[in-house]
Amino acid sequence: MKCMCSIIPSNVLKRFARDKKLSASSRRRFAEAAAHETHWRKLRELNAAAFARAQLTLSAGESISAVPAVTVFDCATGTALPGSPVPNPGASSDPTAKRTFVETTAVAKFYKTLFGRNSIDNLGMTLQSSVHYGVKYNNAYWNGSQMVYGDGDSNIFVDFTKARDVIGHELTHGVTQYTAQLAYADEPGGLNESMSDVFGSMFRQWRSNQTVNQADWLIGKEIMGPAALARGYTCLRDMANPAAQHCLAPQPTHYSQYRAGMDPHSSSGIPNLAFCRAAMTIGGKSWIVAGRIWYKALTGFGPSPNLSMAKFAARTRSIARATRKTAVITAINKAWQSVGL
């Protein structure tokens, strides 16, 4: 499984690296963040492969923790992972470390309570995070074995741990890694990113106990810095309106707009909109019906690295039919039809 697994698309980083409205130091930070991806991407692929192999060969008969441990490390603006351990992070005086612990613990509870999943690998895997990574690092990512969070430049982006959907999004890349193993290119790549947006948004809604009508369906709202807000950017992506101008990274809304080789952060807008429309039509809490259908479609069919969007849509339709609820079947079908699938 090849997965970039970061919240900020590389084209956005490169765009700001060329933005003459930013200071030279700010542009340099964005350029460095974009260049750094090639290094941690290689590490992530190795980690993902090693963990998948270990799961197959070394986990038989092991004692599985009922509740996954959650650990936090502090890189102190360095880049050596994991950094120094933060003792008792849930009571840390560092708000970033404390927030990371609290929200990561909540993600584990979200998956356990709603979907019966024991950590991202369903085997009680320790959820490890490193905070204060790099100097004003403008990204957050899953590297195949742990989470890494930058502090942002305080201008375009702020502390990446401030957005619950960012934390949920990145940890869901781990869930995908241990289930469908979607490749990170073409249609499977778009689905990979969409799964993280869907469950990241669902997690944010669950934490606030919001209905689908109360939710704003924005991704990354809380990490937008003052300069981004001043330019009219209120979020990274909008699942209800992927092509909106207030999105820092607007996306296509219909499968007819899909092109082979498209950045997964872009093509994910198509299945994102389908989920949003299905959940909105069904009503209530997104995780109760639509979320369960999406979870089963992601995790219930074994590794599917080359899964197409049409085949994923077919899975959700099949699962919906099994509910024998006409309203649910119709909502799922019409949602996919509305995006051309």
Average pLDDT over residues 238-251: 97
CATH code 1.20.1050.10 for 186-338 = no
Q: Of 112, 69, 68, 76, which Cα lies nearest the Cα of 97?
A: 76
Please state the pTM of the whole predicted model. 0.92
The answer to whether the beta carbons of residues 90 and 102 sit under 8 Å apart is: yes
The 8 Å CB, 24+ separation contacts for 295-301 are: 295/114, 295/115, 295/199, 298/175, 298/176, 298/179, 298/180, 298/195, 299/115, 299/117, 299/175, 299/179, 299/180, 301/180
The catalytic site residues sit at 170, 265
Look at phi and psi of residue 94 and say left if phi exceeds 0, alpha if psi is from -120 to 50, else beta: beta
Through-space distance between the first and last CA atoms of the chain, rounded to whole angstroms: 24
The answer to whether the beta carbons of residues 4 and 264 sit under 8 Å apart is: yes
Question: Taking 50 as the threshold, does the pLDDT of residue 252 lie above it?
Answer: yes
Average pLDDT over residues 238-243: 98
Return the domain boundaries, the chain: 10-177, 186-338
Q: How far is CA 184 from the centre of its chain?
A: 13
pLDDT digits (tens, 9 = 90+) for 38-89: 555 555 555 555 555 555 555 555 557 778 999 999 999 999 999 999 999 9
Cα 41–Cα 45–Cα 46 angle in degrees, nearest 5: 120
Question: To which residue do tokens 């964005």 refer?
Answer: 30
pLDDT digits (tens, 9 = 90+) for 183-232: 999 999 999 999 999 999 999 999 999 999 999 999 999 999 999 999 99
Q: Of 200, 180, 51, 48, which Cα lies nearest the Cα of 111?
A: 200
Average pLDDT over residues 297-317: 97
User: Domain 10-177: which CATH class?
Assistant: alpha beta
Q: CA torsion 201→202→206→209, rounded to 10°?
A: 80
> Which two three-digit tokens encode residue 64?
């599985």
Confidence of residue 1 (pLDDT cuts 50, 70, 90): very low
pLDDT for 56 equals 53
pLDDT for 62 equals 56
Say which range, 61-75, 115-129, 266-280, 310-324, has the weakest mean pLDDT: 61-75
pLDDT digits (tens, 9 = 90+) for 313-330: 999 999 999 999 999 999
